[in-house]
Amino acid sequence: DGGITQSPKYLFRKEGQNVTLSCEQNLNHDAMYWYRQDPGQGLRLIYYSQIVNDFQKGDIAEGYSVSREKKESFPLTVTSAQKNPTAFYLCASSISTSGIGEQFFGPGTRLTVL
Amino acid sequence: RKEVEQDPGPFNVPEGATVAFNCTYSNSASQSFFWYRQDCRKEPKLLMSVYSSGNEDGRFTAQLNRASQYISLLIRDSKLSDSATYLCVPGGGATNKLIFGTGTLLAVQP
């Protein structure tokens, strides 16, 4: 089955620790995105990548880092510099690299900082 | 002005009712428009793309009014399974990204 997978589903982190969230897709999509969702707010774009070995900052990139070494994979690292990391993290992909095409989401990772 | 404005609801409707959601967007250069549905604690799922001429998919009808910068979603014959949050998502303009609204909560009652 084609789709987007994210792991883990739930993640708990102590303050000061870096954590990496996994995102994999087998849809052969070129573009991949990371968003975070907080209660009562819309999705906010963290980073995006339109091609392998290239990525761009979104609206709230501070305290996060990404890599895009393979087309299928776009992991997100939440660093200790991120002041308020507790949130629902969503990865998406799109066949379009325009940034405004249909995007399809993985099931998300809920990160809680203890 | 917010980039996307939606009535947060909740809209409480009985099964079989017709319900309409409205959304306004601020960027007149937006070029793509979508409705997503999001179940509680789940990921958003694409419901419909919205075309300039309006489009229909079964019980769902989407309309776009570019002059008024307004998008609507009509759901006919509501089902219990339609209960979810509906996100209005325009995209394009200078930023070349999708802008996600905060959503409208629909609760269909038996």
pLDDT of amino acid A1: 61
Phi, psi of A7, rounded to the nearest 5 degrees: -145, 150
- b/e string for B66-99 if b means 16 or more Cβ within 10 A? eeeeebbbebeebeeebbbbbbbbbbbbebebbb
To the nearest 10°, the Cα dihedral for B12, B45, A55, A99? -80
> If we measure between CA atoms, which residue out of A111, A27, A110, A18 comes closest to residue A73?
A27
Give tens-digit pLDDT for A24-49: 999 999 999 999 999 888 899 999 99
- Choose the mutation target among A10, A49, A100, A111 for the interface with B, i.e. most B CBs under 10 Å: A100
From chain B, pick out residues whose CB is under 8 angstroms from the CB of A102.
34, 46, 49
To the nearest 10°, the Cα dihedral for B54, B56, B62, B64? 0
The tokens describing A80, both together, are 């200790």
pLDDT of amino acid A114: 87
Mean pLDDT by 10 residues, chain B (110 residues): 90 97 93 95 95 90 94 97 97 84 96
- What CA–CA distance (Å, rounded) separates B34 from B55? 11
CB contact under 8 A, A99 and B31: no
> How far B80 CA sits from the closest chain A CA (Å)?
22
> If we measure between CA atoms, which residue out of A106, A102, A96 comes closest to residue A34?
A106
pLDDT of amino acid B2: 84
Give tens-digit pLDDT for B49-78: 998 878 999 999 999 999 999 999 999 999
- Residue segments in chain A with a per-residue pLDDT below the cut of 50: none
